[in-house]
């Protein structure tokens, strides 16, 4: 699943998007409420908040490596990475 804002896009692997435990971790970790949970517990991306991303990387820390991508649309789709 992917949602695009003007500056930031967020991508969550389809395999993990349905994981209620991951959704809860992402929802708790994100300081600007980009992630939420649907009624069934699956990950929901709050499109109105995508461009509020502060590039903190907390979502990357909360999820298994490679399952969440923060994409800088304004920078030729460069990925935020943890180093």
Reported as a pLDDT band with limits 50, 70 and 90, residue 81 is: confident
CATH code (residue 52):
3.30.70.20
83 has pLDDT over 60:
no
The H-or-E segment that residue 17 falls in is: helix 14-17
Read off the pLDDT of residues 30-78 as tens digits, 9 standing for 90 and up: 999 999 999 999 999 999 999 999 999 999 999 999 999 999 999 988 9
Q: What residues make up the domain containing 37? A: 2-79
The H-or-E segment that residue 21 falls in is: helix 20-29
Total structural domains in the chain?
1
Read off the pLDDT of residues 5-33 as tens digits, 9 standing for 90 and up: 999 999 999 988 999 999 999 999 999 99
Q: How far apart are CA 37 and CA 1, in angstroms?
A: 14
């Amino acid at each position: 699943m992917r949602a695009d804002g003007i500056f930031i896009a967020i991508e969550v692997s389809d395999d993990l998007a349905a994981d209620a435990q991951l959704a809860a971790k992402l929802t708790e970790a994100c300081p600007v409420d980009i992630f939420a949970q649907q009624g069934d517990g699956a990950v929901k991306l709050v499109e109105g908040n995508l461009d509020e991303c502060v590039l903190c990387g907390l979502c990357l820390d909360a999820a298994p490596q490679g399952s969440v991508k923060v994409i800088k649309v304004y920078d030729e789709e460069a990925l935020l990475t943890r180093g």
